Structure 1
Amino acid sequence: MRMVPVASSDLAAVGYEHGTLYVEFHSGGTYRYTGVPECVHRELMAAPSHGRYFHRFIRNSFPYQKVG
């Protein structure tokens, strides 16, 4: 799985594979969000503000676990 750097003050990089979204934060830590539809990943990557989209539609909507 490839992590793609994003232009965001909060998110450093995003990866997606088989319904699992990986988010690396500038503040440290990488989290795995499970059950994320591919369309949500596409919308995140296309959003004018990756951080705002993440906090509004992903952060509290999917199970997550810190992985790094």
Structure 2
Amino acid sequence: MPSSVIHNYVYFPETEILRIIYQSGSVYDYLEVPADIFERFRSVQSKGRFLNYVINPKFSFKKIK
């Protein structure tokens, strides 16, 4: 999963939280992300582009770190 923006990610299906760990070290939780959106995110080649065009505009988020 090489990405110039995203270092890693974790999905918590019980709470529908997608946690993104950025290359910068910042950590954000994206809230109420359905499993089907996560599966699409997981399967795309450009995770940064998907995050910017699909997840960021539709889902609330909070900075964790």
TM-score of the aligned structures, taking structure 2 as reference length: 0.89
Question: Which residue of structure 2 lines up, in the alignment, with residue 49 of structure 1?
Answer: 46
**Deviations 1:7-54, CA, capped at 9 Å, x for gaps:** 211011010002110001002210001110001111111001111111
TM-score of the aligned structures, taking structure 1 as reference length: 0.85
Say which structure, 1 or 2, has more relative contact order (CA 8 Å, 6+ apart).
Answer: 2
Count of aligned pairs between the two proteins: 63
Secondary structure in 2 matching 1:53:
helix
Report % sequence identity. Answer: 25
C-alpha RMSD over aligned residues = 0.9
Q: CA shift at 1:57, angstroms?
A: 0.4
1:21 aligns with 2:41: no
In structure 1, stretches of 5+ residues that fail to align are 1-5
